[in-house]
Amino acid sequence: MTLPIQPDQRHIKQAEHNSDLLHESCFPDPCVHPNPEYKDWTATIAFYIALHYVQAYLHRKGFKTIFKNHFERNDYLKNDASVKDARIARVLVNYLSLYKLSRNARYTACSFHYMRTRDLCHYFKFALNDLPKMLGLP
């Protein structure tokens, strides 16, 4: 497969690829199933979908796109991009909340047992449906 030339298109393709994984049978929709088995991985994959959509948007708008880590990206989004761009400002709270949810799922042992399914459902919809629309991405 040949990768698209534009960096924003590469991020969109990666977000779509990650979305495909969440449609596998081992990741039932948390909005439909009351207690999905892999809430931790669902949160993590949803975060990385959101991350790639945000990166695609930053590329398209000519913002900074190279970051050493999540902390640097989050700081940039909070203190620079959201001040200059209303779309980033509108998605920032949900993006950062999804980041925290996924970070807890990844690094706090068994925290997914205490993850509320309604929260996971909200961020699942945000990453897969709302975020690309809010950012004007395909």
For the chain, which residues make up each domain, given as ranges? 7-134
7-134: CATH topology = Four Helix Bundle (Hemerythrin (Met), subunit A) (1.20.120)
- What is the pLDDT at residue 37? 84
Nearest 5 degrees, angle CA 34-CA 124-CA 17? 120
- What is the pLDDT at residue 111? 77
In contact, 37 and 26? CB cutoff 8 Å: yes
In contact, 18 and 45? CB cutoff 8 Å: yes
In this prediction the pTM is 0.91
- What is the pLDDT at residue 52? 97
> CA nearest 88: which of 108, 68, 62, 109?
62
- What is the pLDDT at residue 5? 62
In contact, 10 and 52? CB cutoff 8 Å: no
pLDDT in tens, the chain (138 residues): 555 468 788 999 999 999 999 888 888 899 998 778 889 999 999 999 999 999 999 999 999 999 999 999 999 999 999 999 999 999 999 999 999 999 998 898 877 778 889 999 999 999 999 999 999 998
In contact, 53 and 59? CB cutoff 8 Å: no
